[in-house]
Structure 1
Amino acid sequence: MRKNRRAHDVVASAPRERLAGALVDQLADLVGGQAAYCVPAADRPEHFDVVAASPAQEHTGPVEESAREPVRGGGVLLVAGARRWGAKEQAALRDTAGWLAVTTDVDRLREDHARAEERFRALRGEVTAARERLAHVRDLERRRLVRAITTSTLRDLDELRRRLRGFGEHLAEGGEMARITELGTAVDDMLEDFRTVVRGVYPAMLPDKGPRAALEELAATLPHPVRFSGDLGRRVGWQIESGFYHGVAAVLNLLAGEGINRENPAVEVGFGRDEALFARLRTPIGELSAADLRAALHQDAERLAVLGGAMECSVTGGVAVVSVRLADRTTTTTTSRGEASALFQLVTDLVKQGQEAAGTGPARAGWDAVAARLVQPPRLAVVSDAGGPDSSEVDSASLLGVTVVLADGPADRALAEEVVADDGPRGSVDAVLCRVPPTSGFRAALRSDRHRVELSETASADELARRLITWAPVIAARRAIVSVRELLPGLPADHSLRWSVDRIAAEAHEITELDLLDELLGGETRLLRGVSEDAARLLGAEGTDPRSRLGLEPEANDEQVRVAAQRAAERWRAHAVRPVTGGRDASVCEVLVRTAEGLLSAGRRP
């Protein structure tokens, strides 16, 4: 009979999925009555849900017990109507409660292991992508070195060979000394040129005095004058300074070299520092266009992007402006940009508080998962047919710092549920680029997901990746807030984090902007008909800096930014009170007014 078996015998023989029920059955047989294992109800902790009962019957609450034993982790083991009750039965009750706690721990550990395994697979994909980007930048650097050596040293060697041939032809004419002197001068010139190449590869001034001093040394060797201003602040790591130096040096060699003819040859270089090292190079450029600059600096811009930086080129009125930025620490894109976002910092602190509140309990894994996702780069899913997406397009998006997830069509509900899932190698995406027609189920699943997932069918991967990078801190913060709300039931009812989450979400204007921008760009809204493009630009569709939001040139000064922001606020305030403006449009106008007012003091340059 089962009553002669002990709890550990049941554990050794019962299937895992039936273990709790088997333990309760064994206890009920032993005491000759009823037994039930109950846990607090998720929605009403003062009530209990029955996990297993013997004899099996429907229960809506705890049985009327004659004895109870707490189960570690919050449950309770109950006995009622026992016909046998003595020291042996009491020991069996305690023993069974202990084994139930162990089985609960094992189940929880299995779930944690499964989640950890999914996270491992996702992180392994991140590592693979990072290795590919590093391999790409090594290849770019190799090409740069080959180009630097072959275009100067080999040219000089060819000239030296020509002169040696001429020297041999004139030996018999008695001009040996003059020719030898000329030959020596050529060798000296070649050596000096080679030293210049070496200084470009490893400038001696860089490790000693920093990027500005090294760039000033480089400028002294260029044919056109260069004027420097500004400051880069405190020194940073060698990798950062080297990457920044080579990015600016490439632009200097182009703008101050011999290849560009213009009336005013001077190049102005202004340095700055916020969360990144910053340089703006400006010079008249004649007939060249911004596209010409981008083509000439393509490889250098790619290398800078791999390091987490950016190079932007523009030409206005014949004047070229090239900006070079590189984060002042080696970190993920989300973190480096997020450090400039007050919202991101608030959410980061909130998640840390949640981790501390969870301690080492079972809820800690959930908080750790939120913290890990918070600092990961944005994830872009590219859905294509069996032929796969354009590899160059995917590479370009990856170089910008996003994680590209590839998926084959069809774009149906099943695929949508996979990409919006929190776990899985293709899950937790922030945007989807569909190269195949999405089904209505696919669209509906993305729209109904608790996280914001942008869907685009027309944008390029590069364009969508740039938008994700621009909004990365806000996207990460919004995703974390949604996930944290799901973890709050595990905290005490009076814990301060409960109202902190609501307060941050209510005051986060950036999230309101992002949600509204997504709605306007989605093309499925009737909001602000006729002026939606202007609204989208103000919300950051063309860039989140004040000048881009206000439709100004990059060189607009602070006063122009202030005036444009004031006009934008007045425009949308007036639009809100027009008789034909509906209630929803009026609410949107209030958001736009707040955005414009926030730009009044946001146009300061570094």
Structure 2
Amino acid sequence: MAGALPRGDLPVRPVLLGVLVGVVLLAVALGFSLLTRPAVAGVVGPFVAAALAVLAARVAGPGVDRLAGRLGRPAPTPYAVLADTAARVREGSLPDALPGLARVLGEGTAAQRAVVWLVVDDVLVAEAVHPPDAGRGERVASLGLLLARPGVDHAVPVLDGDRLRAVLTIGKAGRPVTSGDRRLVRDVAGGAQLVLQGVARGAELAARVRRVDELARETAASRRRLEVAREVERRRLVAELRGATSDRLAGFRQSIADATESLEEARDDPDDDEAPEMARHHVGEARERLGELIDRFRVIARGVHPAVLREQGPRAALEEVAADLPRAVHLSGRLAGRLPWEIESGLYYVASSAVSLLAARPGGAPLEVVLESRGDTVGVRITDPDPDDGPDAVRAALADDLDRLAALGGALDVVGAGGGIELRASLPDRLRPVVLDAGDGAERSSTRVAGGAA
């Protein structure tokens, strides 16, 4: 009707009190007409009815006020809610900006549950829920999965160009979604588009800041792991050089000194036939010791920079190591293909150290060495059926190699196996670099060796 008052302007309290008084007067009039003569009812009835009406109004006053407040409060319109949400966004109060949208969706459509979903890190997150429940913060991997969820009867996406930024959903628990419901959700989505885009972009920026912080922490951790690996290599080289130069170099010096002494004796006594022969003997001995020293340095150089490993891979490099050992080594299996240098060298170094340790003495059953690829990891399995030491002693002897492997994100296990021991070393098969999301759904991961400890 043209002259009708808006809902918020209706005189709700007087109307309710008038209805209450009318009911009391009617009840008193009916009572007197049934219980007394008409003359008495006409004289006494109005006074009794007025007194009872005043008493009823006084007693029911607080309840009438509460009911009038509920009935007289104007219903929130989508536009009022959007204005309030935009004001909260401008104030930077994002956590309080979206519940109003969820409330107007829930109340305007009489939905059992209304949710405002934001896209954060390519995942839909329930940012506001009405009525408020424990579902806030719930995550769904994709829009398709969200639409297939029970309790989602209608959904309207909010796009930023061709990119999904938010989704508004309602659930009506078996009741139909009317055309008015669809129109309300569509109007709220259209009016809140800029607001939701801004909120989603802010959430995305916050997620990127968190990823940058994670990257900084992981970079620092990677540097620490590299320092550990560098220190492990330094200790190994020092030990190798000390072993190569101590006894062999001392023996070489002694042979040269003995040869020099024999030559001086031959010079002082030309008639001494034994002195030149002893000098030749000591020179030959010095030559042999020098050859051993050179061979040892070649082994050290091969360990520092194994050319065969670069050119042909871990198996060929391990075959070269096994050829110089006094104990037989059976090498089998192979990797799926060439791998990054960090992975191949890490696997080679631990296998080379373990084989050199276990096959250091001649005799005994052959050492079994198997290279293998398992899913996204590569590894080496070494079985010694006749070990000199137990698993704990072998693990302690390979402590530096264990540290190096851990620095690369791998693992090393030494276990007993039917009277022998079995050593299993594994590494991830590739490196995964960080790719910060630029809005194209690129892969995100930390700068670390894949499969390493996070």
TM-score (ref. length: structure 2): 0.52
The separation in 1 between residues aligned to 2:360 and 2:108, in whole angstroms, is 74
Alpha-carbon distance, 1:401 to partner: 3.5
The separation in 1 between residues aligned to 2:311 and 2:426, in whole angstroms, is 22
Q: Partner of 2:10 in structure 1? A: none
- Deviation string 1:554-605 (CA, Å, 9 cap, x unpaired) is xxxxxxxxxxxxxxxxxxxxxxxxxxxxxxxxxxxxxxxxxxxxxxxxxxxx
Which is greater in Rg? 2
Alpha-carbon distance, 1:376 to partner: 6.0
Structure 2 unpaired stretches of 5+: 1-85, 92-99, 115-130, 132-157, 168-188, 266-274
1:210 alignment partner, one of 310, 313, 317:
313
The separation in 1 between residues aligned to 2:450 and 2:101, in whole angstroms, is 53
- Does 1:200 pair with 2:316? no
Q: Partner of 1:144 in structure 2? A: 236
The separation in 2 between residues aligned to 1:328 and 1:74, in whole angstroms, is 38
The separation in 2 between residues aligned to 1:71 and 1:227, in whole angstroms, is 62
The separation in 2 between residues aligned to 1:178 and 1:324, in whole angstroms, is 48
Q: Partner of 2:26 in structure 1? A: none
Alpha-carbon distance, 1:249 to partner: 0.3
Secondary structure, in 3 states, of the residue corresponding to 2:378? strand
- For residues 400 and 157 of structure 1, do their structure 2 counterparts lie closer, same or farther at Cα, with a shift above 3 Å needed? farther
The separation in 2 between residues aligned to 1:324 and 1:233, in whole angstroms, is 16
Query: What are the within-5 Å matches in structure 2 for residues 268-283 of structure 1?
Result: 268-275=368-375, 276-283=377-384
The separation in 1 between residues aligned to 2:243 and 2:310, in whole angstroms, is 26
Please, which moves more after superposition, 221-230 or 108-117?
Answer: 108-117
Give the share of equivalent positions with the same residue, in percent.
29
- Does 1:114 pair with 2:215? no
Please, which moves more after superposition, 109-118 or 229-238?
Answer: 109-118
CA RMSD of aligned residues (A): 4.3
Letter of the structure 1 residue corresponding to residue 370 of structure 2: G
Aligned residues: 279
The separation in 1 between residues aligned to 2:159 and 2:258, in whole angstroms, is 99
Alpha-carbon distance, 1:71 to partner: 12
Q: Which has the higher contact order (CA 8 A, sep 6+)?
A: 2
Letter of the structure 1 residue corresponding to residue 364 of structure 2: N
8 Å CA contact 1:377–1:402 kept in 2: the answer is no
- Does 1:126 pair with 2:177? no
- For residues 102 and 147 of structure 1, do their structure 2 counterparts lie closer, same or farther at Cα, with a shift above 3 Å needed? same
The separation in 2 between residues aligned to 1:137 and 1:218, in whole angstroms, is 22
Structure 1 unpaired stretches of 5+: 1-14, 21-36, 50-59, 61-69, 76-96, 333-354, 379-397, 404-606
The separation in 1 between residues aligned to 2:392 and 2:417, in whole angstroms, is 12
Alpha-carbon distance, 1:100 to partner: 8.0
2:255 alignment partner, one of 138, 163, 172:
163
- For residues 287 and 185 of structure 1, do their structure 2 counterparts lie closer, same or farther at Cα, with a shift above 3 Å needed? closer
The separation in 1 between residues aligned to 2:262 and 2:286, in whole angstroms, is 13
Q: Partner of 2:392 in structure 1? A: 291
- Deviation string 1:412-470 (CA, Å, 9 cap, x unpaired) is xxxxxxxxxxxxxxxxxxxxxxxxxxxxxxxxxxxxxxxxxxxxxxxxxxxxxxxxxxx
Alpha-carbon distance, 1:257 to partner: 0.9
- Deviation string 1:123-158 (CA, Å, 9 cap, x unpaired) is 321222122112211211222222222211343222
The separation in 2 between residues aligned to 1:228 and 1:306, in whole angstroms, is 26
- For residues 42 and 191 of structure 1, do their structure 2 counterparts lie closer, same or farther at Cα, with a shift above 3 Å needed? farther
The separation in 1 between residues aligned to 2:323 and 2:90, in whole angstroms, is 80
The separation in 1 between residues aligned to 2:192 and 2:370, in whole angstroms, is 69
The separation in 2 between residues aligned to 1:326 and 1:129, in whole angstroms, is 18
Letter of the structure 1 residue corresponding to residue 360 of structure 2: G
Secondary structure, in 3 states, of the residue corresponding to 1:401? coil
8 Å CA contact 2:432–2:450 kept in 1: the answer is no
Q: Partner of 1:401 in structure 2? A: 452
Secondary structure, in 3 states, of the residue corresponding to 1:278? strand
- For residues 190 and 326 of structure 1, do their structure 2 counterparts lie closer, same or farther at Cα, with a shift above 3 Å needed? same
The separation in 2 between residues aligned to 1:207 and 1:45, in whole angstroms, is 70
Alpha-carbon distance, 1:185 to partner: 2.5
8 Å CA contact 1:305–1:399 kept in 2: the answer is no
8 Å CA contact 2:328–2:366 kept in 1: the answer is yes
Alpha-carbon distance, 1:162 to partner: 2.0
